[in-house]
Structure 1
Amino acid sequence: MALINKIREKSGVAVGIIAVSLILFIVGGDLLGSQSLFGGQDQTVGEIAGQEISYQEFNAKVDEARAAYEQQTGRPATEQDQVQLRDQAWNQFILDIAYAKEYDALGLAVTKEELIDMVQGNYISPAIRQTFTDPQTGAFDKNTVINYLKSLKTLPAEQQMAWTNFERNLSADRMRVKYENLLRLSSFVTTAEAQKEYQAQNTRADAKFLLVPYYVVPDTTVKVTDSQLQDYLNKHKDEYKSYNSRTLQYVTFPVAPSKEDSTALYDQIKSLARGLAAAPNDSSYARMNSDIQAPLYMTLGEMPEQLKATVGTFASGGVYGPYKEGNTYFIYKYSGTKKDTNFTVRASHILIRAAGGDTAKAAARTKAEGILRQIQGGASFEALAAENSADGSRQQGGDLGYFKNNNQMVKPFQDAVFSFNGTGLIPRLVETEFGFHIIKITEPKTNTLYRIATIGKTITPSQATRDEVYRKAEQFATESKSKDDFDENTKKDKTLVVATAERIPENATSVNALGNARELVRWAFNKDTDINDVSSAIEVDDQYVVAVLTGETSEDEVSIENFRQELTAKVRNQLKAEQIIAKLGSASGTLESIAQKYGAGALVETVPDINMATGFLKSAGVDPLAVGKIFGLKAGKRSKPFAGDAGVLIVETTKVTPAPSVADYTVYKNQLQQNASSRAGFMINEAIRDNADIKDRRAKFY
């Protein structure tokens, strides 16, 4: 059974490997038939390469995947699991239809003989090796596979099916690898391309530029019209791809515990405290009555702060609390101590790294010794840690928290800390592979474990509280028949905050910070929901949501509404650029004098050693147009004002150093070839998907 479980696991791995080459279509939510929400008779879940996928055949594949998953894991699939299983089933359809057409066109196949060779021949599949490798010795023996196959017919039917699925996935993965390798081999880098890359990386320039950032012109002073947005979109349609989306405004009514709920729980926790005190088996009593499971034995460092503060008053059999942490009340029963096999300590440190050779190491030691002397002289350890330590603990004044002497720390550090008695500063540097440490013990080492039975009860809204919140939300929805009513009613109720969710895709599972929001998304995409319609109260996690539909876009039509925010930013910057260029005028004199004449916001910077491949221009950032102009100018020449990515620039090239001549561009050719090869899987998947014209309509059903 252990072996077949491994096969099931690897079968899932094989499916995962195949799915890596696909971009997942994320969907979720509860299953709804098309009749129940969208109406009509269309039972098509999607279309791939002209082939329609019916709801029935898709759901059958999902059921098959779910059964295999539940058999493998031994538990029912959760809703989140089912989202992933539906993705897996959809991706399998893409493989079976879109990818298979490409394989067939090239005559690719995995023969029976090839599969046998992958399983028990000379070229064993990595998945087979991993599955049948002895975990004790790490050795793979082909005879183990052969013996397993000989006994396969005597195994239960479910194990035989698991092996069949495993082999099928091996074959599918080999086919995909063949196809991708074939296309990778078709990629070729010319000497001219390698030479161009060499020039881009090694030609250098020094430059000076004036930048007037777009932000110096307030947005409120630049009016952008819809006609300007449309003109821009018409000129850049290839950059914007539309999709079905909805835009909502909504308010939430949180279902939070009431004062009465808190009082009721407090009374309950006091009753439980009496029961815990009298319980002969307090650990079982705590386990049965607690919402939160906690360890029975704790070190001092593992205790919550409120409990730790009472350790000095501990008496065997005593009950402590209730203590409130967030929305949870805790009570604790102390029943004595025992000794742990490990010691626990709390310490802080200041790390001075010693990277480099002997000179750097000596400098690091000198610096660390100086800091140690300052602390010994009365300086604040925490302040010096925040200023000097070279690791993340500097943000906590060097505090490393609690740790044990079970090799949680590197040996020299551990030995120094646990050989120290009491608290205080260790009066010497401790050297480790990371550098030099200055260490302070903040709580002494101890191996005492406290036996503490814990009950934690979390305040949750009662049904009465939930019903009252629903009543308020539904009343708001009933009184808001239109967008105007929605706006008016939110103004009346000052506790309500209107949120906006723009361009929600049809298969979204969340809306802004609202998780598990499929019901809200389905309402927005319902064919009977029109612009300015208001929803009823929709339950989303621990709140009710009332929404109004304010916008929609279609995959069949690119409009400014699809990309209003992005288009507005682009057009606004164009208009700002026109204003700035007009104000700069003829731009004569030095760049400094031009900046001074322009006024507030204009700045001048010098950038040395720029290259075309990775040019970075300080405040101007990465601006390909500006870099191109710098390399297009002769030394000593200046450009006219132009619109860049961050603002309007005037660039001045001060020096150009051509790349030295080389006879061999092999390094750059290999570099480009490797880059192309690493992108191949993604690019192949994109091309197949585009060619297959995939239409995913699962959101209408799930």
Structure 2
Amino acid sequence: MAVIGKIREKAGWAIGLIALGLGLFIVGADFFGPKSNLFSNDAEVGKIAGHGISAKEFEAEVEQIKATMAMQGQNPTEQQLQQIREQVWQDMIFRYAYQPQFEKLGIGLSPEERDDMIAGDNIHTSIKQTQVFQNASGQFDRTMLDRYLDYIESDSARPQDKQLWENFIVNQLPQMRMREKYDNLLRTSLYVTQAEAQHEYEAQVAKVDAKYIYVPYYSIPDSTIKVSDDELKTYLSAHKNQYKGDETRSLKYVTFPIMPSAKDSADLKSQLVDLAKQLAVAPNDSSFAIAESEIEVPGNGSYQVIGALPQEIQNTISTLIPGSINGPFQDGNEYYIFKYDGAKDDSIPSLRASHILFNLPKGASDSVKAQTRKQAEDVLKQIKDGASFEALAQQYGSDGTAQRGGDLGWFSKNGQMVKEFEGPIFSFNGSGLLPNLVETEYGYHIVKVTQPKTYKKYKVAVIRKSIVPSEATRNEVYRKASAIGSQAKDIASFEEAVKKDPTLSAYTADRLQPQATSINTLVNARSIVQWAFKDDTKVGTVSTELFELDNPNQYVIAVLTGKSEKGSPSVDAYRAELTNKVRNQKKAEQIISKLGDLSGTLDAIAQKYGAQAQVLTGTDITMGSNSLPSVGMEPAALGKAFGLKVGQKSKAIKGENGVIVMEVTKQTPAPQIADYTQYKTQLKQNKSFSVTYLAGEAIKEDADIEDLRYKFY
């Protein structure tokens, strides 16, 4: 019955989580927050395959999931609400875009197949991976599933559990299964020709050695190359197939962090001085400390082993006088004071130690163990001879303590550490280096006791408060931000206003999607995204309001710098990328002109050009790598190299990273082979990873999805 109780508590919501996760198999989610009333009679949140999704239809499905959660005693957080809305949207994409494609192909799910996936010989993976149907070792336990199925069919099953399960087996599970069938159909339809396999073989096996001149684009300062809007438009027109016309926005913005001032810090310190006087005479200092502390201190006011005390108190506790008031002390963005109420003896000792772990993998052979032990003993000898324990811990330690010199902190002899580790350490008297290695299931440890064992428990009452910006500080930051906002009327004046203040920096965000919730490092920035996508926010518009964001708390002013509508890519939407492309083209022309007619050796040409021209060599270069040593991805240069004869020099090549002149010094053709099966298999596996994604993208493109949720959330 205990097992059934556990299932009743957890399995229903666990099944619900499977449903919540289903939307992720179509696309990755980008979430959003609430905005306005959805219940206008003619409002639509989008259109999928010609089907208009009314706000009422969409919100009804959202409310259905929320109601089910409420039956489970769950009140969705804002993040969960965003996930629910995304799940509903993905369900609708499946219903109106994917489902018709499946029906055309005759893909369906019979009742018998569904039953087999739930309780037959072929349990679906999503059920097997549900935690409540797994044993202690994380393996699927059929008994746990059978018990749940018995429960869900019994009269004692809660209605909310039945509803979740019904939704899962009627809606979610069939969707997952049909998508799996569709994906498998695509994968099994893949075919690789003999010519493709031969080309792949040659790309991997044929090699050349080459010498080449490389003049990087970064050798010419960007500031010396001017790019006009007409040039950007010409480039975009010539490469329009490379740029999608999605609905996006680009902006520049400046942030004004709301940070505590020096006065705020001083005022809080003064407040803590007054509280210290009150703490000294409080009838119940523990209750007073807990009531006045803004930050929870575990075990505040009770007797604790030294390892449970705040770190900064541990270091001084042995020197304190009972009844003393200590502080205020600053710890980062906090101040604290504490009253020391003395110590009492305890039967369980505590100590502080550091270690250097030489890790042994599970099942390590005797030779590996001997080699690891030898290394640990050598390091132990170095420490005995005077080497720094902390420095060697950073060099050789194989766990998370290495970065802090091996420090394990304070711990008690109460099972916190494995017995093989506790035994020799707590048997050691005083402090210092243990003379021998300590062996545990994790490997070999070099141990140093840094604070000797103590049987004491200590009582301290701590008051801790955060240093926060005062109202006056907030007003000053608001005033500064408003001043910038009042000066900025367009992109140029925005940039000029920011330049005048050396403490400010303008940041760029390109091609924001309508459902974005973050902008670069700005989290919970949905309000800025919604402003950018308003119909009356034109390119060049500066936000008239100060956006206030939290985590961290700050004001933000933004200016819209680019706008792209669906189906028509614009220069503004891709300005930064297009500018870089055109600028590099112009740099390439300058470099090629300066290189001249390329007569003479590569070294002579490079010397004539100047220090920016590097002469590099590469050995065993393959076509499949797409990369040149010390240069990076350069498919055009590689292709040219494999078309040259030994000793032949190429013309100057406009590469991805700079201008390149190739000269092949050695060729190693791929030997003829009779069987290309291995390469056919490789290509088929590689294609199988992408074919389902590409097919999904094709389905969504064919459905002409119009997502207008950003107007409502």
TM (normalized to structure 2)? 0.84
Q: CA 1:280–1:87 in 2, change beyond 3 Å: closer, same or farther? A: farther
Report the Cα distance in structure 1 between the residues aligned to 2:602 and 2:439, rounded to whole angstroms.
52
AA partner of residue 693 (structure 1): D
Q: CA 1:349–1:135 in 2, change beyond 3 Å: closer, same or farther? A: closer
Matching of residues 445-456 of structure 1 within 5 Å: 450-456=458-464
CA contact (8 A) 1:10 1:166 kept: no
Of 12, 15, 27, 1:23 maps to 27
| Aligned counterpart, 1:536 | 545
Deviates more, 1:405-414 or 1:553-562: 405-414
Q: Per-residue displacement from partner, 1:555-580 (whole Å, max 9, x unpaired)?
A: 34222222121112112222222222
Report the Cα distance in structure 2 between the residues aligned to 1:358 and 1:584, rounded to whole angstroms.
62
Of 451, 462, 466, 1:458 maps to 466
Q: CA 1:237–1:127 in 2, change beyond 3 Å: closer, same or farther? A: closer
| Aligned counterpart, 1:518 | 526
| Aligned counterpart, 1:623 | 634
Say yes or no: does 1:64 pair with 2:101: no
| Aligned counterpart, 1:211 | 214
Q: CA 1:365–1:615 in 2, change beyond 3 Å: closer, same or farther? A: farther
AA partner of residue 606 (structure 1): T
Unaligned runs of 5+ in 1: none
**Displacement, 1:361?**
9.0
Of 224, 227, 235, 2:227 maps to 224
| Aligned counterpart, 1:326 | 332
Say yes or no: does 1:10 pair with 2:7: no
Q: Per-residue displacement from partner, 1:246-294 (whole Å, max 9, x unpaired)?
A: 3444444444445665455445434544555556665554444332222
Matching of residues 600-611 of structure 1 within 5 Å: 600-611=611-622
Q: CA 1:33–1:101 in 2, change beyond 3 Å: closer, same or farther? A: same
| Aligned counterpart, 1:346 | 353
Report the Cα distance in structure 1 between the residues aligned to 2:616 and 2:492, rounded to whole angstroms.
52
| Aligned counterpart, 2:698 | 687
CA contact (8 A) 1:347 1:443 kept: no
| Aligned counterpart, 1:190 | 193
Q: Per-residue displacement from partner, 1:315-353 (whole Å, max 9, x unpaired)?
A: 445443222223322223434356586855332538699
Report the Cα distance in structure 1 between the residues aligned to 2:595 and 2:585, rounded to whole angstroms.
15
Matching of residues 105-184 of structure 1 within 5 Å: 105-129=104-128, 130=130, 133=133, 135=135, 139-141=141-143, 143-145=146-148, 147-151=150-154, 153-168=155-170, 169-184=172-187
Q: CA 1:267–1:90 in 2, change beyond 3 Å: closer, same or farther? A: same
**Displacement, 1:46?**
0.8
Q: Per-residue displacement from partner, 1:362-405 (whole Å, max 9, x unpaired)?
A: 98888776665555444445556666777886665566666777
Q: What is the SS of the residue equivalent to 1:632?
A: coil
| Aligned counterpart, 1:90 | 89
Report the Cα distance in structure 2 between the residues aligned to 1:191 and 1:512, rounded to whole angstroms.
46
Report the Cα distance in structure 2 between the residues aligned to 1:581 and 1:613, rounded to whole angstroms.
27
Report the Cα distance in structure 2 between the residues aligned to 1:353 and 1:159, rounded to whole angstroms.
46
Deviates more, 1:318-327 or 1:251-260: 251-260
CA contact (8 A) 1:43 1:55 kept: yes
**Displacement, 1:412?**
7.6
AA partner of residue 467 (structure 2): I
**Displacement, 1:490?**
5.5
Report the Cα distance in structure 1 between the residues aligned to 2:658 and 2:415, rounded to whole angstroms.
54
**Displacement, 1:406?**
8.2
Q: What is the SS of the residue equivalent to 2:15?
A: helix
| Aligned counterpart, 1:234 | 237
Report the Cα distance in structure 1 between the residues aligned to 2:710 and 2:228, rounded to whole angstroms.
35
Report the Cα distance in structure 1 between the residues aligned to 2:357 and 2:197, rounded to whole angstroms.
48
**Displacement, 1:622?**
2.6
CA contact (8 A) 2:249 2:573 kept: no
Q: Per-residue displacement from partner, 1:173-231 (whole Å, max 9, x unpaired)?
A: 22222222222211122333233222222222222222121222222332323232222
Report the Cα distance in structure 1 between the residues aligned to 2:147 and 2:359, rounded to whole angstroms.
53
Say yes or no: does 1:504 pair with 2:504: no
AA partner of residue 686 (structure 2): N
Q: CA 1:157–1:238 in 2, change beyond 3 Å: closer, same or farther? A: same
Of 581, 584, 589, 1:573 maps to 584
CA contact (8 A) 1:44 1:53 kept: yes
AA partner of residue 120 (structure 2): G
**Displacement, 1:602?**
1.5
AA partner of residue 312 (structure 1): S
Q: CA 1:428–1:205 in 2, change beyond 3 Å: closer, same or farther? A: farther
Report the Cα distance in structure 2 between the residues aligned to 1:449 and 1:507, rounded to whole angstroms.
54
Report the Cα distance in structure 1 between the residues aligned to 2:427 and 2:565, rounded to whole angstroms.
70
Report the Cα distance in structure 2 between the residues aligned to 1:662 and 1:403, rounded to whole angstroms.
65
CA RMSD of superposed structures (Å): 3.9
Deviates more, 1:6-15 or 1:82-91: 6-15
**Displacement, 1:587?**
2.0
Matching of residues 644-659 of structure 1 within 5 Å: 644-659=655-670
Q: What is the SS of the residue equivalent to 2:633?
A: coil
Report the Cα distance in structure 1 between the residues aligned to 2:395 and 2:9, rounded to whole angstroms.
53
**Displacement, 1:697?**
0.9
CA contact (8 A) 1:353 1:390 kept: no
Q: CA 1:519–1:357 in 2, change beyond 3 Å: closer, same or farther? A: closer
AA partner of residue 205 (structure 1): V
Report the Cα distance in structure 2 between the residues aligned to 1:505 and 1:512, rounded to whole angstroms.
12
AA partner of residue 319 (structure 2): T
Report the Cα distance in structure 2 between the residues aligned to 1:323 and 1:628, rounded to whole angstroms.
66
CA contact (8 A) 1:348 1:401 kept: no
Q: What is the SS of the residue equivalent to 1:64?
A: helix
Report the Cα distance in structure 2 between the residues aligned to 1:623 and 1:358, rounded to whole angstroms.
48
Matching of residues 439-450 of structure 1 within 5 Å: 440-444=448-452, 450=458
**Displacement, 1:48?**
1.0
Deviates more, 1:247-256 or 1:191-200: 247-256
| Aligned counterpart, 2:53 | 53
**Displacement, 1:45?**
0.6
Report the Cα distance in structure 2 between the residues aligned to 1:128 and 1:581, rounded to whole angstroms.
62
CA contact (8 A) 1:24 1:87 kept: no
| Aligned counterpart, 2:294 | 291
Report the Cα distance in structure 1 between the residues aligned to 2:443 and 2:156, rounded to whole angstroms.
61
Q: CA 1:572–1:269 in 2, change beyond 3 Å: closer, same or farther? A: same
Report the Cα distance in structure 2 between the residues aligned to 1:567 and 1:119, rounded to whole angstroms.
53
Report the Cα distance in structure 2 between the residues aligned to 1:505 and 1:285, rounded to whole angstroms.
51
AA partner of residue 352 (structure 2): V
CA contact (8 A) 1:61 1:89 kept: yes
Report the Cα distance in structure 2 between the residues aligned to 1:348 and 1:304, rounded to whole angstroms.
22
AA partner of residue 649 (structure 1): I
AA partner of residue 10 (structure 1): A
Report the Cα distance in structure 1 between the residues aligned to 2:561 and 2:578, rounded to whole angstroms.
19
Q: What is the SS of the residue equivalent to 2:102?
A: helix
TM (normalized to structure 1)? 0.86
Q: CA 1:133–1:272 in 2, change beyond 3 Å: closer, same or farther? A: same
Report the Cα distance in structure 2 between the residues aligned to 1:532 and 1:132, rounded to whole angstroms.
55
Q: CA 1:257–1:636 in 2, change beyond 3 Å: closer, same or farther? A: closer
Q: CA 1:609–1:692 in 2, change beyond 3 Å: closer, same or farther? A: same
